[in-house]
Amino acid sequence: MAPSGPACAQPSPAEPLSRSIFRKFLLMLCSLLTSLYVFYCLAERCQPGSGPVAGVPGRGVPAGPRDLAAWPAGAQRKRLLQLRQRRRRGRPGPDDSSDQDEQSPGLAAAPGGSGAGSSLVEAQSGTLALLLDEGSKQLPQAIIIGVKKGGTRALLEFLRVHPDVRAVGAEPHFFDRSYHKGLAWYRDLMPRTLEGQITMEKTPSYFVTREAPARISAMSKDTKLIVVVRDPVTRAISDYTQTLSKRPDIPSFESLTFRNRSAGLIDTSWSAIQIGLYAKHLEPWLRHFPLGQMLFVSGERLVSDPAGELRRVQDFLGLKHIITDKHFYFNQTKGFPCLKKAEGSGKPHCLGKTKGRAHPVIAREVLRQLRDFYRPFNRKFYQMTGRDFGWDE
**HEC per residue, 48-93:** CCCCCCCCCCCCCCCCCHHHHCCCCHHHHHHHHHHHHHHHHHCCCC
Tell whether residue 89 is among the known ligand binding residues: no
Answer yes or no: 149 catalytic.
yes
The per-residue pLDDT for 262 is: 86
* pLDDT digits (tens), the chain, 393 positions: 444 444 444 445 555 667 778 788 888 888 888 887 777 666 544 444 434 433 444 444 444 444 554 555 666 666 666 665 555 554 333 333 333 344 333 333 333 333 333 332 333 333 343 444 569 999 999 999 999 999 999 899 889 889 999 999 899 999 999 999 999 999 999 999 999 999 999 999 999 999 999 999 999 999 999 999 999 999 999 999 999 999 999 999 999 999 998 888 999 999 999 999 999 999 999 999 999 999 999 999 999 999 999 999 999 999 999 988 787 767 666 666 776 765 555 666 675 555 667 889 999 999 999 999 999 999 999 999 999 999 987
The per-residue pLDDT for 98 is: 36
Tell whether residue 358 is among the known ligand binding residues: yes
Tell whether residue 218 is among the known ligand binding residues: no
d(CA 179, CA 151): 25
Tell whether residue 104 is among the known ligand binding residues: no
Please enumerate in sequence order all residues whose Cβ is within 8 A of that of 79, keeping only pairs 6 or more positions apart, or say none.
57, 63, 68, 71, 163
The per-residue pLDDT for 73 is: 60
The per-residue pLDDT for 56 is: 42
The beta-strand segments (E) located in the chain are 136-137, 142-146, 165-167, 192-193, 198-202, 224-229, 258-260, 265-266, 294-298, 328-331, 336-339
Tell whether residue 238 is among the known ligand binding residues: yes
Tell whether residue 357 is among the known ligand binding residues: yes
The per-residue pLDDT for 158 is: 86
Active site residue: 149, 202, 224, 341, which one?
149
Tell whether residue 115 is among the known ligand binding residues: no
Q: Given phi > 0 = left and psi -120 to 50 = alpha, else beta, which region is 277?
A: beta
Peptide bond into 233 cis (omega under 30): no
